[in-house]
Amino acid sequence: PAASENQNFCFKEELDAFKLSLSPTKEVILEHYLAGWSGLVKFLNRLGNVFGFISKDASSKIQILRNFLNGESGSEYFTVQSMVKYELENKLVDLKKAGSHPESGCRTLLRLHRALRWLELFLERLRTSQEDGKTSAMCAESYNESLAQFHPWVVRKAAGLAFCMLPGRLAFFEVMNVGTPDQVVAMLGEALPVVTEVYQITQELYAKHDLLDIP
């Protein structure tokens, strides 16, 4: 019965979306990248309302990028690489300070990209955690090492409070709906290299075009 209750979510699908987002030439296909993120948001929503402010922000960024993808220049947004090229060539990015393009694809994706680093750190901690590991501590440590540096005090504070509401390791694994703890750990071992690769490809692309600090 537990399995059928959980049928609408399985963490493996999110993993597959990120896998699919890597094209044979190692470009990042936006549609699948966004599908991966919306799966994570679904997962977050299952954890409870206290994460609402996080999932709302993530959803609105996913939506901004989907609008580009479905818009009249949609084909330019097929991959993150083509998006960067198109927006830069057409001066559609506010590079120094927010101006006429406050919600460019490049700046919106950068926010998700920074959060992907958090995810990578968090999943690695989960994977290697002991039975008595505290998800809230793993989450907070990963956050402090990554995303926190980009957030103002009030957001860091709210995030810190929300992390305290995370379920324990076993309950967390159950929400993932992958199987036994051993199976979860194995799946995380498979998922991590994919997340790392997507992160690194995007990171190098953004570094090359000097986009890592856009407002």
Residues contributing to the site for ligand 1Q0 (CB under 6 A): 11, 40-41, 43-44, 51, 53-54, 57-58, 111, 115, 118-119, 123, 126, 139, 143, 147, 155, 159, 166, 176
What is the distance between the alpha carbons of residues 131 and 67, in angstroms, rounded to a whole number? 42
Q: Compute the least distance from the CB of residue 174 to ligand 1Q0, in Å.
A: 11
Q: Which CB, 111 or 209, lies closer to ligand 1Q0?
A: 111
The residue (of 25 and 180) whose beta carbon lies closer to ligand 1Q0 is 180
Nearer to ligand 1Q0, 64 or 201 (CB): 64
Helix/strand/coil (H, E, C) string of the chain? CHHHHCCCCCHHHHHHHHHHCECCCCCEEHHHHHHHHHHHHHHHHHCCHHHHHHHHHHHHHHHHHHHHHHCCCHHHHCEHHHHHHHHHHCCCCCCCCCCCCCCCHHHHHHHHHHHHHHHHHHHHHHHHCCCCCCHHHHHHHHHHHCHHHHCCHHHHHHHHHHHCCCCCHHHHHHHHCCCCHHHHHHHHHHHHHHHHHHHHHHHHHHHHCCCCCCC
Pick 43 or 206: Cβ nearer ligand 1Q0 = 43
**In the complex, least distance from residue 126 CB atom to ligand 1Q0, rounded to whole angstroms:** 6
Q: Shortest gap between Cβ of 184 and ligand 1Q0 (angstroms)?
A: 8
Indicate the residue among 54 and 84 with the shorter CB distance to ligand 1Q0. 54
Q: Which C-beta is closer to ligand 1Q0: that of 93 or that of 126?
A: 126
Q: Tell me the closest approach of the beta carbon of residue 115 to ligand 1Q0, in angstroms.
A: 4
Minimum separation from the CB atom of position 82 to ligand 1Q0 (A) = 23
Both tokens assigned to 3: 């399995």
Quick check: 179 and 195 in contact, CB under 8 A? no
CB of 131 to ligand 1Q0, least distance (A): 16
Rounded CA separation 80/93 (Å): 14
